[in-house]
Amino acid sequence: MQSGLMNTFQSGIKTRNWAAWAIAIALFAFYILIYFDYALGILGPVAERLGMGIWTLYGLMYTIAMIIGGIYFLHKHGNSRYHQVRTIVVVLVQIIFAFSIPLVMEIFDSKGFILSLFWPLKIEYFYPQNIFTYPLTLVLYAFLSFVIGVPLLTYFYGKRWYCSWVCGCGGLAETAGDPFRHLSDRKAKAWKFEQWSIHLVMFAAFATTAMVIINWSLHHTSPDGQWITQYPLFDSIATTVQKGYQTVVVAMLSGVIGVGLYPLMGTRVWCRFFCPLAAILGIIQKLGRFRITVKPDMCISCGNCSTYCEMGIDVRQYAQNNQSFKRAACVGCGMCAHVCPRGVLRLENKADLRESADKERRPIVDM
């Protein structure tokens, strides 16, 4: 199938020229203004003048970027059925679940809740002081979806059901980020770094959540109505850790760096190196059914798959060795299979890996 990717390496903006740097700097600046508005107070007033909160303004811009990016993506890759279905779903999820429903909830004076986000990507969903401000159904939803829904879906369909079909971070990467997907580092070194960094953040998410929960349970309401604890030292440590996680992981890694580095290091820096939910999904994916099947002996080692894998997976290495594979990082975007000029790769949800065909080939002499 035509991949719509010819000319990629002749385009300066797609190969880290000055314009790419300029976009990166602009994105950095924008994300700093968003996430640190509480201190800077620059974008907040602008949003207010437009009649909305800063996060609504951000959500609106994000959704528009995904819609325009989705149209661009379908223009380039829309000859693939998988891409058609996946792109429409991920953009609709953003419009309906991530943007409209929370907005409507807020209009009706309740707190907005994004049904398409789960702990620990949305770490507050397990912070008691936050989640218990929602109705019981949503509390149950947040808990049960993580404990039952997410693992089951991932076991049967791989992490792709979330990372490239539902998630907003992945959604932006797959749409507006498409021009930069080939910039991910596919060297073995990057893979090593990824294994450390993503599990470190996952650990940080568990630890932070645990501390917040413990700290909350050590609090009680005093007779005069104060929310107090007998362990002020632990309280201050837990609060600092919670703030630190918010600043470092949520603001810096998922926002500023995650999106800011699009034009320089590809679109999945956050998803690949840092996202704690992706780390958990990756572990389940390794145990689950989803894999990429390699058609034996047909790979011409061209490198299209490795180049356009936004997770920096060196797919060619598997393909030329006739190895069907499961990789924790694979978000099942389907691009490797789509761009392969020899149709070597296929995304499948099957019970077991196919044996690599090492059988002797018998000639058909009798013609």
| Contact status, residue 38 vs residue 247, Cβ threshold 8 Å | no
Closest to 243 measured CA to CA, from 44, 74, 38: 38
Binding residue (CB under 6 A) for ligand SF4 from 3, 218, 303, 348: 303
Residue 315 interacting entry, from other proteins, ligand SF4, none, C-beta within 5 to 8 Å by type: ligand SF4
- Tokens for 42? 């620059």
Residue numbers at the binding site for other proteins (CB under 8 A) = 1-3, 5-11, 15, 79-82, 84-85, 187-188, 295-298, 300-304, 306-307, 316-317, 320, 334, 337-338, 341-343, 346-347, 357, 360-365, 367
Q: Does 201 bind ligand SF4 (CB under 6 A)?
A: no
Task: Kindly state whether residue 169 participates in binding ligand SF4, applying the rule CB under 6 A.
Answer: no
Residue type, 267: T
CA-CA distance, 289 to 5, in Å (whole number)? Answer: 30
217 binds, among ligand SF4, other proteins, none (CB under 5 to 8 A by kind): none
Separation of alpha carbons 38 and 51, rounded Å: 18
CB of 341 to ligand SF4, least distance (A): 6
| Secondary structure E strands in the chain | 219-221, 227-229, 290-294, 345-349
- List the single partner that 199 binds among ligand SF4, other proteins, none, CB under 5 to 8 Å by kind: none
Give the burial string for 203-212 (b: 16+ CB within 10 Å, else e). Answer: ebbeebbebb
Nearer to ligand SF4, 122 or 160 (CB): 160
Min CB(134)–ligand SF4 separation in Å: 33
Residue 325 is classified by DSSP as: B
With CB under 5 to 8 Å by kind, the binding choice for 256 among other proteins, ligand SF4, none is none
**Chosen from other proteins, ligand SF4, none, partner binding at 107 (C-beta under 5 to 8 Å by type):** none
Span interacting with ligand SF4, options 60-68, 83-91, 103-111, 330-338, rule CB under 6 A: 330-338
- Interface stretch with ligand SF4, choices 2-10, 244-252, 253-261, 302-310 (CB under 6 A): 302-310
The CB-side HSE value for 57 (13 A sphere, CA atoms) comes to: 18
Which of ligand SF4, other proteins, none does residue 311 bind (CB under 5 to 8 Å by kind)?
A: ligand SF4
Of the pair 9, 203, the CB lying nearest other proteins is at 9
Q: Does 309 bind ligand SF4 (CB under 6 A)?
A: yes
Q: Which residues pair with 228 in a beta bridge?
A: 220
Say which DSSP state 277 is in: H
114/106 Cα distance (integer angstroms)? 11
Per the structure block, which two tokens stand in for 15? 């190969």
Whichever of 37 and 314 has its CB closer to other proteins, that residue is 314
Q: Which is nearer to ligand SF4, 138 or 302 (CB)?
A: 302
- 93 touches ligand SF4 by CB under 6 A: no
- Taking alpha carbons only, the member of 249, 305, 245 closest to residue 278 is 249
Q: Considering the rule CB under 6 A, would residue 83 count as an interface residue with ligand SF4? A: no
Beta strand pairing call for 345-349 and 290-294: antiparallel
Terminal-residue alpha carbon distance, the chain: 33
Q: What CA–CA distance (Å, rounded) separates 195 from 349?
A: 24
Judged by CB under 6 A, the number of residues near ligand SF4 is: 25
Chain residues binding ligand SF4 by CB under 6 A are 292, 299-305, 309, 311, 313, 315-316, 319, 330-336, 340, 342, 344-345
